[in-house]
Structure 1
Amino acid sequence: MSELAIDWNHWTGRIRSFFDSTILERGWKYYRDGVVRAIETEGTSVVKARVSGSSSYKVHLDLKAFSKSTCNCPYGAKCKHMAAVLFKVAEQEGYDPKEFRNPKQTSSKTSPKFDLSSKKAVKLPKETDSCEAWVTYFEKQYANSRIYNAFSMEELYMRAWGQLNKLADDWEPAIRGIYDIQVNLYLMKLCNALMQSKSGVYDFFYNAEYFFAKIAKHSRERLHTALWEINVEKAQTKYSAHLKEIGAYLAGFMDAEAFNSQRQWYDLYKLLWSELLNEKNLVTDELTRLRSIVAARRPESYGHEAAVMALAHFDIMSEEDENAWERVTQECSSIVPSDWFGYLKIFLQEEQGERLLKWLRWLGPEVQKDAAHYASDYLFFWQEASRYMDVEGEHRQAMVTLLPASYRDYSSFLFQKKEYKTWADLCLLLNLTPLQISAGELQLVEKADPRLVLPIYHYAAEECIQTKNRDAYREAVKLLKKLAAAYKKLKQTSRFEAYIQYLVQEYSRYRAFQEELQKGKLLP
């Protein structure tokens, strides 16, 4: 560890800002439990280690460009495993890990005072402030932010999240959770605005979609964490004014200029209104607002369609599924199947079989329009429904309807049923060759009934021959040898020999093919 060059002020000021306090606490527990193993260094700034949790995870830290650090755990952002390694490295390098855990406890010699802004007149957010006051502070810190490439947008988000999150470390848990939610919404809005400001630069905007998706994923994870830890009943009783402000701020996302990513908005909207904001008076006011937007009859506006989707969500929450489906089919320009998969997951988890089937039937024609994107997820729900309901016939029909996108699902289904003849017919229908078919599946069918694979090999061999190049001819010979083995198992070698003679005559002009037959010893 002696090779590392440690700038402790950089650690406690810059690197720590990548982590929220909850992740640091979890990382601290891992560090104290002694599960950080196999620490290695490369040069003066790279650390590699393993952390044993529910599994063993690989951590790679770049202390100079920390945003590039990674862990192969499912968390997807700066995680507790990375924090645990940092605590351990600090200890081995002679620093007090507690100072990294909470810089507010550090001495003036080892850690600088935390100051987000050089403008000392700006007051930090307080526990007693309104959401509006918090946002005013956020705006003063970040409204004039500039980004120069797509990666810097994600870096800004992570830095701002870490800086703002730590300000509420000592707050009462319920208001702390509300504060974290407001931080998330503000940063999502900020990043969207920054991305839109670069929309005229194709390369930037194209890459920004990827980074914005990562930001949205992290935001959802943070919101889930906040909602998991918050006492919703206490929040609704004691902080109703804050929740009303959150609802109003979320409503502002209806504005296309403020938040131009409808799908990301809808995910946040559903999450918050399903849990934290699901209070009678708040819901009544929101429904009134949404209905007024829809009643304005401006279908061409972003706000109109977003309001329709929101009303459909409230319909589903009230188990008025028919109303929800009627709204979206009549009022929305298109139906994106993935918008509804989250509901299907809930129906599945809560064993609401009839609701699940109803939505699967409704969504079928929409999935069929873009089966390549949605078939796999859609059929997963059919498969799960089949486990505890007698819907095998409908499940099968759904797979057939979505072919060829559903080939893998339908193939697995047929193998489970040992319907090998139907499987072989399916391969021929889709013009699949052995190169496109699982070798294990092909071997299993051949073992069960060699006759079923004969048409597949015949078709594939002639497809190769008609490609008319040397490599294809070699591949054709390989297939013909497998065909010969299948005929031999059936004790029909004479039929194979007759077929070879047919090929020789049919493709007599293909000299290279004739040569490959001789090399493969398929000709006398």
Structure 2
Amino acid sequence: MSELTIDWDYWTTRIRSDFDSTILKRGWKYYQDGVVGAIQTEGTSVVKARVSGSSHYRVQLDLEAFSRSTCSCPYFDTCKHMAAVLFQVAEQEGYDPHALLYPNSTKMPTSQQVHTAPKPAVHKPKETDSCEAWVVYFAKQYANSKVYNAFSIEELYMRAWGQLNKLADDWEPVIRSIYDIQVVLYLMQLCDALMQSKSGVYDFFYNAEYFLAKIAKHSRERLHTSLWEINVEKAHNKHLSHLKEISAYLAAYMEKETFNSQNQWFDTYKVLWSELLYEQSLVADELARLRSIVASADRDSDVYEAAVIALAHFDMMNEEDENAWERVTQECSSVEPSDWFGYLKVFVQEEQGERLLKWLRWLGPEVQKDAAYYASDYLYFWQEASRYLDVEKEHRQAMVTLLPASYREYSSFLFQKKEYQTWADLCLLLNLTPLEISAGELKLVEKADPRWVLPIYHYAAEECIQAKNRDAYREAVKLLKKLASAYKKLKQTSRFEAYVAYLSQEYSRYRAFQEELKKGKLIP
């Protein structure tokens, strides 16, 4: 919330007296259902919000002259939508909304174990606060948020980011960047918790991927922006205590099952340690923590493997790649190639060709285990390596090894080298027909030498005939006509005619095929 001035006694006496008790209870239910959203303030006393009931209603409250408050619903007096907004604003400003519903203990149901006295307000974040104090404020505003679908999680994330981000607009740049990083980490954790709370709802996860991907994208962008803008040396010298808190926040989340969640916590961990937290004392503390997890006899397997990969990350930052390979290969149940593609991207950007090549060799066997999923990204890095090094032979072998998943990359490579006959042999090896091959590629090869496309058309035509249906026979005739064109260019029309005569004789009992041959004027 922004700069509202709250006179709590006025709220619990004068404002509350404007509401019928039944209306207050209905508003309380709306508040508990989490249907109050899009809260905005104007000045120190005006609140605007949207309440989603049987329809969407716009509420505007004037906290100094409450009689001027309005709601777009048809109710002529103070309504449940206005009450729901009051409850929500009270909570977000650090007061106990129960005190509006039940102003004294004699009217409060005995089954409700709540405090009527207002809670002290949690002050808004300050430049001089610790990260922990910031998080206390964040949690006060959003920890009890209610969501019903993935869209509402994204809406909450974007609204919270906008509200929290602007609180530090006039701060010194370094501490502002650190604050923004803490905001992103908190909101990532909040969204993870909300997602977990819906873990048993099928419809939620069925529709969640799109919205969660948008949250993850925004988180990455904000982190990278903050890291790009921050003066790391100044952060280490002046705000080391804040960085230590950021490190502890990451560590606490690393030990939860959701560490490798949809929001890509491990990617966040890597980028923060690589670009901001890499300071001698912080690194020493983190390495000690990770080694303690790995050495523990009573350890969760997921947490253990996450710690191993984190240790490998520190090996990487020290350019001790062999140590990283050994850790992961020996201590993890499997090697996930995509976990390492980010490093390969950095090697490309920094033109570390030799290092990139070593990693490609190490990852090759792991990529081969699931080539359909990883081949395209992996071969992109081979192509980049070829810009710095003479690796054509190894690059070619990598593509051959990953076939058929690597067909598109290998095909492009062969065309670049003008190895058209090898390309035609590849198509036959993979049982590809002209229907599965680019028409442009076929024309290019046929123009270079028609002999190389003959086996492709022969194979495809007979495959269609073997399908034994009218549509396939028609397709076979089309292929035979293209074959006729290729033989004509070679001045071997007689060979084509002999081949058609053979097909007509071989499949003489296929009456529909014979009819299509006649329609195509391939036989009399």
TM range (shorter): 0.7 to 0.9
Q: Distance in 1 between matches of 2:90 and 2:494?
A: 88
Alignment partner, residue 454 of structure 2: 454
Conserved in 1, the CA contact under 8 Å of 2:94 and 2:140?
Answer: no
Alignment partner, residue 488 of structure 2: 488
Task: Call closer, same or farther: CA 1:457–1:116 in 2, change over 3 Å.
Answer: farther
TM, length-normalised to structure 2: 0.77
In the alignment, residue 404 of structure 1 is paired with which amino acid?
A: P
How far residue 13 of structure 1 moved from its aligned partner, in angstroms, is 3.6
Alignment partner, residue 225 of structure 2: 225
SS at match of 1:387: coil
In the alignment, residue 429 of structure 2 is paired with which amino acid?
A: L
In the alignment, residue 481 of structure 1 is paired with which amino acid?
A: K
Alignment partner, residue 117 of structure 1: 92
Q: Distance in 1 between matches of 2:39 and 2:231?
A: 31
More off after superposition, 196-205 vs 134-143: 196-205
Conserved in 2, the CA contact under 8 Å of 1:175 and 1:239?
Answer: yes
Alignment partner, residue 303 of structure 1: 303
Alignment partner, residue 86 of structure 1: none
Q: Distance in 1 between matches of 2:262 and 2:269?
A: 10
1:423-480 per-residue CA deviation (whole Å, 9 max, x = no partner) reads 0000000000111111111111101110000000011111111112221111111111
Q: Distance in 2 between matches of 1:212 and 1:333?
A: 28
TM, length-normalised to structure 1: 0.77
**Which consecutive unaligned segments of at least 5 residues does structure 1 have?**
1-9, 15-63, 65-113
Alignment partner, residue 359 of structure 1: 359
**Which consecutive unaligned segments of at least 5 residues does structure 2 have?**
1-36, 42-55, 57-88, 96-120
User: For 1:275-294, what aligned pairs fall within 5 Å after superposition?
Assistant: 275-294=275-294
1:273-292 per-residue CA deviation (whole Å, 9 max, x = no partner) reads 00110111101110111011
Residue 318 in structure 1 maps to residue 293 in structure 2 = no
Alignment partner, residue 63 of structure 2: none
Task: Call closer, same or farther: CA 1:116–1:342 in 2, change over 3 Å.
Answer: farther
User: For 1:343-354, what aligned pairs fall within 5 Å after superposition?
Assistant: 343-354=343-354
Alignment partner, residue 44 of structure 2: none
Q: Distance in 2 between matches of 1:343 and 1:512?
A: 59
Q: Distance in 1 between matches of 2:262 and 2:174?
A: 29
How far residue 117 of structure 1 moved from its aligned partner, in angstroms, is 2.2
Conserved in 1, the CA contact under 8 Å of 2:38 and 2:159?
Answer: no
Alignment partner, residue 429 of structure 1: 429
How far residue 257 of structure 1 moved from its aligned partner, in angstroms, is 4.2
In the alignment, residue 485 of structure 2 is paired with which amino acid?
A: A
User: For 1:248-259, what aligned pairs fall within 5 Å after superposition?
Assistant: 248-257=248-257, 259=259
Conserved in 1, the CA contact under 8 Å of 2:434 and 2:456?
Answer: yes
Alignment partner, residue 381 of structure 2: 381
SS at match of 1:411: helix
In the alignment, residue 482 of structure 2 is paired with which amino acid?
A: K
Alignment partner, residue 515 of structure 2: 515
Alignment partner, residue 474 of structure 2: 474
Q: Distance in 2 between matches of 1:298 and 1:324?
A: 24
Alignment partner, residue 439 of structure 1: 439
Task: Call closer, same or farther: CA 1:208–1:259 in 2, change over 3 Å.
Answer: farther
Task: Call closer, same or farther: CA 1:446–1:321 in 2, change over 3 Å.
Answer: same
In the alignment, residue 318 of structure 2 is paired with which amino acid?
A: S
How far residue 170 of structure 1 moved from its aligned partner, in angstroms, is 1.0
Alignment partner, residue 334 of structure 1: 334
Q: Distance in 2 between matches of 1:475 and 1:262?
A: 47
Alignment partner, residue 174 of structure 1: 174
Q: Distance in 2 between matches of 1:461 and 1:148?
A: 56
Conserved in 2, the CA contact under 8 Å of 1:124 and 1:137?
Answer: yes
In the alignment, residue 132 of structure 1 is paired with which amino acid?
A: E
Alignment partner, residue 6 of structure 2: none
Q: Distance in 2 between matches of 1:299 and 1:386?
A: 43
How far residue 230 of structure 1 moved from its aligned partner, in angstroms, is 1.1
1:166-206 per-residue CA deviation (whole Å, 9 max, x = no partner) reads 11111111111001000111111111111111111223123
1:99-119 per-residue CA deviation (whole Å, 9 max, x = no partner) reads xxxxxxxxxxxxxxx999244
1:60-81 per-residue CA deviation (whole Å, 9 max, x = no partner) reads xxxx9xxxxxxxxxxxxxxxxx
Alignment partner, residue 97 of structure 1: none
SS at match of 1:388: coil
Q: Distance in 2 between matches of 1:201 and 1:331?
A: 35
SS at match of 1:404: coil
Alignment partner, residue 184 of structure 1: 184
Q: Distance in 2 between matches of 1:193 and 1:358?
A: 39
In the alignment, residue 480 of structure 2 is paired with which amino acid?
A: L
Conserved in 1, the CA contact under 8 Å of 2:192 and 2:263?
Answer: no
CA-based RMSD of the aligned residues comes to: 2.1
Alignment partner, residue 46 of structure 1: none
How far residue 330 of structure 1 moved from its aligned partner, in angstroms, is 1.0
In the alignment, residue 311 of structure 1 is paired with which amino acid?
A: L
Alignment partner, residue 267 of structure 2: 267
Conserved in 2, the CA contact under 8 Å of 1:192 and 1:260?
Answer: no
Q: Distance in 1 between matches of 2:392 and 2:301?
A: 42
Conserved in 2, the CA contact under 8 Å of 1:386 and 1:392?
Answer: yes
Conserved in 2, the CA contact under 8 Å of 1:174 and 1:234?
Answer: yes
In the alignment, residue 117 of structure 1 is paired with which amino acid?
A: Q
Q: Distance in 1 between matches of 2:140 and 2:91?
A: 10
1:334-376 per-residue CA deviation (whole Å, 9 max, x = no partner) reads 1111111111111122222221111000000111111111111
Residue 195 in structure 1 maps to residue 170 in structure 2 = no
Task: Call closer, same or farther: CA 1:469–1:256 in 2, change over 3 Å.
Answer: farther
More off after superposition, 152-161 vs 356-365: 152-161
Q: Distance in 2 between matches of 1:299 and 1:507?
A: 69
Residue 161 in structure 1 maps to residue 136 in structure 2 = no
Conserved in 2, the CA contact under 8 Å of 1:299 and 1:331?
Answer: no
In the alignment, residue 295 of structure 1 is paired with which amino acid?
A: A
Alignment partner, residue 34 of structure 1: none
How far residue 11 of structure 1 moved from its aligned partner, in angstroms, is 9.7
In the alignment, residue 501 of structure 2 is paired with which amino acid?
A: Q
Alignment partner, residue 91 of structure 1: none
Structure with greater contact order relative to length (CA < 8 Å, sep ≥ 6): 1
Q: Distance in 1 between matches of 2:352 and 2:39?
A: 49
How far residue 209 of structure 1 moved from its aligned partner, in angstroms, is 3.6
How far residue 214 of structure 1 moved from its aligned partner, in angstroms, is 2.2
Q: Distance in 1 between matches of 2:297 and 2:265?
A: 21
Conserved in 2, the CA contact under 8 Å of 1:477 and 1:520?
Answer: yes
Q: Distance in 2 between matches of 1:116 and 1:210?
A: 31
Q: Distance in 1 between matches of 2:446 and 2:417?
A: 16
Alignment partner, residue 237 of structure 2: 237
In the alignment, residue 432 of structure 2 is paired with which amino acid?
A: L
SS at match of 2:405: coil
1:233-279 per-residue CA deviation (whole Å, 9 max, x = no partner) reads 11111111000000000011123345451881110001000011011
Q: Distance in 1 between matches of 2:376 and 2:90?
A: 49
Q: Distance in 2 between matches of 1:291 and 1:214?
A: 35
1:10-62 per-residue CA deviation (whole Å, 9 max, x = no partner) reads 99949xxxxxxxxxxxxxxxxxxxxxxxxxxxxxxxxxxxxxxxxxxxxxxxx
CA radius of gyration, larger in: 2
1:75-98 per-residue CA deviation (whole Å, 9 max, x = no partner) reads xxxxxxxxxxxxxxxxxxxxxxxx
Q: Distance in 2 between matches of 1:422 and 1:353?
A: 29
Task: Call closer, same or farther: CA 1:13–1:509 in 2, change over 3 Å.
Answer: farther
Task: Call closer, same or farther: CA 1:406–1:321 in 2, change over 3 Å.
Answer: same
How far residue 210 of structure 1 moved from its aligned partner, in angstroms, is 3.6
In the alignment, residue 317 of structure 1 is paired with which amino acid?
A: M
Task: Call closer, same or farther: CA 1:256–1:262 in 2, change over 3 Å.
Answer: farther
Conserved in 2, the CA contact under 8 Å of 1:298 and 1:304?
Answer: no
In the alignment, residue 516 of structure 2 is paired with which amino acid?
A: E
Alignment partner, residue 213 of structure 1: 213
Q: Distance in 2 between matches of 1:403 and 1:344?
A: 22
How far residue 151 of structure 1 moved from its aligned partner, in angstroms, is 1.6
Conserved in 2, the CA contact under 8 Å of 1:262 and 1:306?
Answer: no
